[in-house]
Structure 1
Amino acid sequence: MAITRARKALIAGAVGALAATGSLLTLSTAQADPQTAPTTATATATATDMPTTAETWDYPGAAKIAGEKGIALKRGDGHITLTDCAQPYDLQVRSRLGHFCFAVNSKKGLLTLELPDSFGIDNGAHPVTATLDAGGKESVVKAPVNDYTPMGEAGDAGERSILVELRVTG
């Protein structure tokens, strides 16, 4: 079977055209359009844009909790959270205002707060360090695992104290 010259020329031309088209597509895809500076209208955010977030570690719902329960929850890393004492909890802080229960979801955690007249910690499975303020003088109490630890007026200091920090240490 002999392939005619015309057929050879046609096949060679088609292969060449395909190769040229592929090269042009590759080059045009790789070339990006030059970037222009955004106009003021596109650079400003609108009310429908997604809000940006910056973590402040503020305790969510703190104002409502302070109004209802008298405990000021300030900031934390989310690993120590106030919970209802009727639910399972990991540690309980006792004060003249009442008993406040906290859930712990990590081996380490931090919560800054203001709980006046605190006098004890009933601790569960996590060792806790509590920082107290008695008239401008800070003291630190280490609460061991599975034990009740007196603090503030019931502890060594014997003074009414404000619990200002809970830290789970292991």
Structure 2
Amino acid sequence: MKTLYRCLAVGVVALGGLTAVGAAPVPAATGAGAPSADDTPPPAVEDFTYPQADRIFQERGIRLKSGDGRILLVTCDSRPGLLEVNARGMTATDPVGRGRFCFQVSGSTGRLSLELPSVYAAKGNDYAVRLDMRTGTEAKSFDVEKNKWTQVGETADPQERVFTLLEITATA
């Protein structure tokens, strides 16, 4: 019985002062073996950074920044329901799609922050899609027609200025 009490007392000290009901508190361990603030891991905080964005930029020339995970860059294939965005001058920087980028949208809403220069057209899907773009210091938004091609950027601009796509927003 004495051994059992000794084990319980050691366990209480090891747990940092937890005690049984009615017992006096046991002080937490201090000194060289005591855990410090540096020993605790940082809290898990989601920063919404697009996974493998640096690799994708090197391979395709599109800079994917952040989002909610519901708009993802995918391979353009015959799957229905993909959002497609076309950019000029990407033959060398995007050997995969040559400036043709497709996105799969899931959920009721989605948001993706990116940087894609020289965007001139987009084909919508079943979502209400808005493209936020910039030319110089001027920002402009374009609504993409559902399941149809829409002129955006330079093809929708009377001055035919080059626009950079900055954000895609989709709502079911």
TM-score range with shorter-chain normalisation?
Answer: 0.7 to 0.9
Larger Rg: 1
Match of 1:151 in 2: 152
Q: Residues 1-36 of structure 1, C-alpha deviation per residue, up to 9 Å, x if partnerless?
A: xxxxxxxxxxxxxxxxxxxxxxxxxxx953466264
The reply to whether residue 137 of structure 1 matches residue 128 of structure 2 is: no
CA drift at 1:64: 0.6
Whole-angstrom distance in 2 between the partners of 1:45 and 1:72: 35
The reply to whether residue 161 of structure 1 matches residue 163 of structure 2 is: yes
Match of 1:14 in 2: none
Structure 1 segments (4+ residues) deviating >4 Å: none
Match of 2:83 in 1: 91
Whole-angstrom distance in 2 between the partners of 1:50 and 1:126: 40
Structure 2 gaps, min length 5: 1-18, 91-98
Match of 1:59 in 2: 50
Whole-angstrom distance in 2 between the partners of 1:87 and 1:45: 52
Match of 1:103 in 2: 104
CA drift at 1:113: 0.4
Q: Percent identity?
A: 33
The reply to whether residue 74 of structure 1 matches residue 76 of structure 2 is: no
Match of 2:36 in 1: 43
Whole-angstrom distance in 2 between the partners of 1:45 and 1:78: 32
Whole-angstrom distance in 2 between the partners of 1:149 and 1:38: 67
Q: Compared with structure 1, are the counterparts of its residues 50 and 86 closer, same or farther at alpha carbon in structure 2 (3 Å cutoff)?
A: farther
Query: What is the root-mean-square deviation in Å for CA atoms of aligned residues?
Result: 2.3
Aligned residues: 141
Match of 1:11 in 2: none
Specify the code of the residue in structure 1 equivalent to 2:110: G
Whole-angstrom distance in 1 between the partners of 2:29 and 2:130: 52
Structure 1 gaps, min length 5: 1-27
Q: Which is further off, 132-141 or 34-43?
A: 34-43
CA drift at 1:159: 1.3
Whole-angstrom distance in 1 between the partners of 2:23 and 2:103: 55
Give the TM-score normalised by structure 1.
Answer: 0.73
CA drift at 1:39: 3.7
Give the TM-score normalised by structure 2.
Answer: 0.72
